Amino acid sequence: MAFKNLNSVLVVAAAVVLGVKAVDNGLAITPQMGWDNWNALGCDVSEELLQQTARLIVDYGLKDVGYHYVILDDCWSVGRNASNNSSLVADPVKFPNGMAAVADDMHALGLGFGMYSDAGKYTCGGYAGSLGYETVDANTWASWGVDYLKYDNCYNEGYAGNQQISSARYRTMGNALNATGRPILYSLCNWGEDYPWNWGSTIANSWRISGDVYDSWDLYDARCPCEGPNAFNCELPGFHCSITNIMNKASFIVSKAQPGAWNDLDMLEVGNGAMTDAEYVAHFSMWAAAKSPLIMGNDIRVIQPKDLAILSNAAVIAVNQDPSGSSAARRWMYDTNNTDSNGYPARIQMWSGSLQSTTGGDYSDMVVLLINGNNAETVMNATLADIFVDSGEQGTAPQVKMSWEVRDLWANRMSEADAAAIIAGSSAAGNATNATTVVAPRFNVSSTSYAEGLASNNSILLGNVTTTVLPSGTVLATVAPHGAAMFRLRALPTAVMKRDEL
C-alpha cells in the first residue's frame, strides 16, 4: 500500500533535498562527537592535558564508540606575531612544542584536533580574536593540521543585531576555512543570537542555540534570562543555562537539524558532578535524540565509572548517529502537581522521532524519550497515537494500528564494575592492572560504522526488548526523579489483515 512506505520515503527525500542545502564540506554527516576542555577546566589548558586526555579517550574505548575530536577551547594564544603575517602564536608555556605537534599527537591516535577562536576582536577570555584576520588564521590552523574550529561571539564590535550581519561575519570565516582546502569542521558558537538555525546550515556544520550550559538540571539563574516553556526569542542568551532550559529552546527548532548541519545544545555536563546520575542519563538521552553534537565536557582524567558508563552507551549514541539524520520532536509537555527547583510546576515531557528501520521492513524505527521533570519517581506513558502523530493526527497513522517491539536503550548500560575495570586497566591513567574482569562486548566504529551496525542489527545498538505494544497501545515506563526512559520501537510483522481492518 502506498501509505506504508510514507515514513521511510519522507526520510530519504529529506536527506536528498536537505543534503544539498547544508554546508558543502562533507563533514558532520551525523552530529560530531568529541571532547572539549571548557566545561570542566576553563582556561587551565596545556599540551599535557590534551595529550593525556586523548590517550584516555582511546584507552577507555570512548574513541571506539565515536568520540573523535579533541577540542582545545579558549586561552591558548599569546597574541599575534607582527613579523610573521600577524599570525596567532600559541602560548609557549602551555604548548612548548607548538600546536602542529599537538595536532600530530592527536592524529597519531586516530583522533581529530579542534581549535577555538572568536568572530570578534577578542575571545571571551580576552585573548586575540579572529575578526579581520579570518584568512590568515584559517591558513595558520590548516598549516598546523587543525580539523575543527569552534568559533565564538564575544567582543564582536557590534556586528550583530540581525541575521544578515551575523551571518556575514560568520560566513567570512567559513569561506576562509574552505579556501584552505583542508576539511575543517566549522562549529558556530554565537549562542543562538540572530537565529543561526536559519542561516547556519549554509555556512557551518553546527550552531549553538543558547547561552552556555551549566551543570544543573533545572535551576533558574538570572544570568540565563530566557526561561519557561515559551522562552524562545532570546535577545540576551546569557550563560548558566540549565539542561531543561536548553531542552526547551531546542524543542522549537528541531526541524533545522539535518545531515551536515546541527543544532548544538552545548557541551555535555555528564561527569562534572553537580547533577544526579538520573539527571545525567536524561541529559545525555536528550542531547542524543535532538541530534546535538556530543562533545564531552568532563575531566576525563578523573572520570567516575558511572559517568564512563553513560558516555559509552552505544545504543543511545546510535540514535544520535542515525543515518536518517532527523531530530526527535517534543510531542507533549504537561505540568504535574509537583514543583521544580524554582517553585514552578514540574513538567513531564515526551519526545519521539523516526530512525532508520532495523527490521528491513517498510516502517522506520522510532525513538521514544520520556523525561520526568518531577522530583519523584513517576509512571509515564506515551500512546502510539502521540508517538506517531507526524504520520497522522489523532491516531490516524497506520503505525498506530500495528504492534511494536519496545527496546530499552539504557538496559545494557555498562556495569559500574566493567567501567571501573576499564579505568583501572588504562596504562595512560598510570594505573594499569592485570584486571581479569570480563568487560561486556563494546561497539567499535573503526571496524563498523553506526550505519553499518544498524543495518546489520548489531545487538549492542538495539537495547533490550522489554515488551510489545499492541495496536492503539501505550508505552509505559517508571521514570526516576529528573530521569529519562528511552526506547527504540521496532515494527513487528503484521498478520495479514482484512481490508476493513486497515
Which residues are catalytically annotated? Answer: 152, 212
Among candidates 347, 320, 344, which has minimal Cα distance to 333? 347
SS3 sequence of 39-97: HHHCCCCCHHHHHHHHHHHHHCCCCCCCCCEEECCCCCEEEEECCCCCEEEECCCCCCC
Element containing residue 386 per DSSP (H, E): helix 384-387
> Of the two residues 237 and 453, which places its CB atom closer to ligand GLA in the complex?
237
> Of the two residues 67 and 214, which places its CB atom closer to ligand GLA in the complex?
214
**Binding status of residue 126 toward ligand GLA by CB under 6 A:** no
Of 123-131, 193-201, 353-361, 409-417, which part binds ligand GLA (CB under 6 A)? 123-131
Closest distance of CB 268 from ligand GLA, Å = 12
**Binding status of residue 35 toward ligand GLA by CB under 6 A:** no
> Of the two residues 287 and 404, which places its CB atom closer to ligand GLA in the complex?
287
Which residues inside 79-118 make contact with ligand GLA, applying CB under 6 A? none
Among candidates 21, 71, 26, which has minimal Cα distance to 49? 71
* CA–CA separation, 335 and 439 (whole Å): 42
Closest distance of CB 75 from ligand GLA, Å = 7
> Of the two residues 296 and 419, which places its CB atom closer to ligand GLA in the complex?
296
Exactly one of 212, 269, 365, 386 binds ligand GLA (CB under 6 A); that residue is 212
* CA–CA separation, 33 and 57 (whole Å): 12
* CA–CA separation, 299 and 346 (whole Å): 31
The answer to whether 362 and 314 have CB atoms below 8 angstroms apart is no
* CA–CA separation, 242 and 220 (whole Å): 7
C-alpha distances (whole Å) from 29 to each of 45, 197, 205, 317 are 29, 17, 9, 14
Kindly state the cell numbers that stand for 259: 545531515
> Of the two residues 38 and 487, which places its CB atom closer to ligand GLA in the complex?
38
**Binding status of residue 361 toward ligand GLA by CB under 6 A:** no
Of 18-26, 58-66, 121-129, 225-233, which part binds ligand GLA (CB under 6 A)? 121-129
The answer to whether 487 and 463 have CB atoms below 8 angstroms apart is yes
Question: Positive or negative, the Cα torsion across 450, 409, 480, 251?
Answer: positive
**Binding status of residue 125 toward ligand GLA by CB under 6 A:** yes
CB closest to ligand GLA, residue no: 124
Closest distance of CB 267 from ligand GLA, Å = 7
Count residues contacting ligand GLA (CB under 6 A)? Answer: 10
Q: Compose the 366-405 pattern: x for residues touching ligand GLA by CB under 6 A, - for all others.
A: ----------------------------------------
Among candidates 366, 376, 375, which has minimal Cα distance to 398? 366
**Binding status of residue 152 toward ligand GLA by CB under 6 A:** yes
Exactly one of 73, 279, 365, 418 binds ligand GLA (CB under 6 A); that residue is 73
Q: Compose the 172-191 pattern: x for residues touching ligand GLA by CB under 6 A, - for all others.
A: -----------------x-x
Interface residues with ligand GLA (CB under 6 A)? 38, 73-74, 123-125, 152, 189, 191, 212
